[in-house]
Amino acid sequence: MYYPKVILVTLTHCIFNILLTEALQCLSCDHVAEPRDCSHLETCGAHQECYVKHMIASNLVQYYEMGCKDKRVCETDTNSLLMSAVGKKRDTTIRSSHWYSKRNEDDLLLCLQCCNGTNGCNKDLCGAPQTTARRCLQCDDVLSWRDCQEIAECSTDQLCYVRTSAISINYEIRVKMGCLGQLQCEGIQKAFPQRCVVCCNDADFCNYNACDNFNVSTRATTTATTPVIPILTLKPTNPPPSTTDQPTVHINGPTTATTYGNMSSLTCLTIPPAGTYTWTFKDTTQLPAGVSAKYGGTTSGGFAGISVLHLDSLDRLTAGQYTCTAAFANGVQHKDSFLLEPLPVKPTTDIEKGPITTNFALKCMITGYPSPTVTWTLNGNIVTATQPPNIYINVGNSTSTVFVYAYDPSSHNGQWSCTAQNAGGQVSTIATIP
């Protein structure tokens, strides 16, 4: 049967809009000690809202029931039960009440509250102890974030995240959700710039629809302008050579330079978790003193592995390029490098002058990072290997020494200046001969 194109397009557009319609998500559990113990979400209907019932059993054990309830039923139940408790009509602007009313022969209803402001808003109703921990949707492999109904309570340093990936067999887009650290999230975003990887911390369940408006151009240089909607199933007739996520290694390090001498760290993130992690410093496996590597386990869901490199002090001995090489189960190795440099330190100089005899020395002691360049002048003129005569200059790790032999007052008397300069600044010290 032939269908006009305009009808097919309109029908597709309507179905697509229905799929994208946001629905209220409520905590849904039959019998929990506290609302925060509920780890399941329920998608409410268009005319429903979240509710909590606080119950007490005949053995005096209190518990909560939670889920979705029709808005009118929730309003009617709350009004009628409150009226039976206080003997008068309640203000309809108040959406909660506390009473003792029979639920069945054994249990009493202590409280009923309803809400519809945000997803999971019923976690703090009926006087339940409130939690400041961020709660996020957590699912390892679903077709859409709308299919995820499990909840995780994140630790203090974690955010909610959602990530899309492609299944190698049929190229379907799948979604992973849960809790993740900020550095790990940034690493995954850099490893997969063409996929939606979002971390958020602005509200509970903020990863619910975080990928709806994802656009590759917001994170990578590309000509694509069409948003990637993760619920769509991609099954190309002629698939590209490979859309499977290949093993990836990425090092997360300080986004701003670290103060010289302070502690620092690097995190090597791999997808999937690697069998071994090897850190090298300037192409040698011998790490400097005070630098140690430790396996950090896997991220939530187990799709990424972590190895952490810790530096007790970032200084001239530990600054430089570090490389993390990860070996995966198939024998393939991938690596990434990170140049770790501290902030520059302004130089200091000090001249030691011995007794002025036929042969004597002027020793300039220098500090600063990076290693400063040193210049000597005599009476404003740059000192070289031949000017003034009868001298030579020896440069050490933190010293610069002028040796004078066959001292001649007419050539060597005056103001000797040692000047050190690097990215942190410039400083000079003067010694007078005789």
Question: Which one, of 323, 324, 328, lies nearest residue 272 by Cα?
Answer: 328
What local confidence, expressed as pLDDT, does residue 169 receive?
A: 56
What local confidence, expressed as pLDDT, does residue 57 receive?
A: 82
Asked if the 135-218 domain carries CATH number 2.30.30, the reply is no
What is the CATH code for 248-340? Answer: 2.60.40.10
Cα 176 vs. chain centroid, distance in angstroms? 16
Question: Which one, of 289, 286, 308, lies nearest residue 297 by Cα?
Answer: 308
Q: How far apart are CA 362 and CA 418, in angstroms?
A: 10
Burial 182-200 (b: 16+ CB within 10 A, else e): ebbbbbbbbbbeebbbbbb
Contacts of 394 (CB under 8 A, 6+ apart): 400, 401, 403
What is the value of pTM for the model shown?
0.51
What local confidence, expressed as pLDDT, does residue 187 receive?
A: 79
What local confidence, expressed as pLDDT, does residue 401 receive?
A: 95
Where are the domain boundaries for CATH 2.10.60 in the chain? Answer: 25-124, 135-218
What local confidence, expressed as pLDDT, does residue 419 receive?
A: 97
Contacts of 401 (CB under 8 A, 6+ apart): 361, 362, 363, 364, 393, 394, 395
What fold characterizes domain 25-124? Answer: CD59 (2.10.60)
Contacts of 13 (CB under 8 A, 6+ apart): none
Neighbour-count burial of 120, counting CB atoms closer than 10 A to its CB (0-12 exposed, 13-18 middle, 19+ buried): buried
Domain 345-433: state its class. Answer: mainly beta
Q: Which uninterrupted H or E stretch holds 157?
A: none
pLDDT per residue as tens, the chain (434 positions): 444 444 443 444 444 443 444 678 888 888 888 887 888 888 888 889 999 998 888 777 888 899 999 888 887 776 665 555 454 443 333 334 443 444 455 678 888 889 988 888 888 788 777 666 788 888 888 888 778 888 888 888 888 989 887 665 556 778 888 888 887 788 788 777 778 888 888 888 888 878 877 765 555 433 333 333 233 233 333 333 333 457 889 998 887 888 999 999 999 989 889 999 999 999 888 999 999 999 888 775 677 888 999 999 999 999 999 999 999 987 899 999 999 999 999 999 999 998 999 999 999 999 999 999 999 999 999 999 889 999 999 999 899 999 999 999 999 999 999 999 999 999 999 999 98
Q: What is the DSSP letter of 89?
A: P
Strand order of the β-sheet with 414-422 is 381-382, 373-378, 414-422, 425-433
Grouping H, G, I as helix, E, B as strand and the rest as coil, residue 398 is: coil
User: Are 367 and 345 spatial neighbours (Cβ–Cβ below 8 Å)?
Assistant: yes
Where are the domain boundaries for CATH 2.60.40.10 in the chain? Answer: 248-340, 345-433
Virtual torsion, Cα 125, 131, 137, 138, nearest 10 deg: -130
- Helices within 21-164 (DSSP H only): 71-86
**Residue 101: what residue type?**
S
Q: How far apart are CA 110 and CA 52, in angstroms?
A: 11
Strands 276-281, 264-271: pairing kind:
unpaired
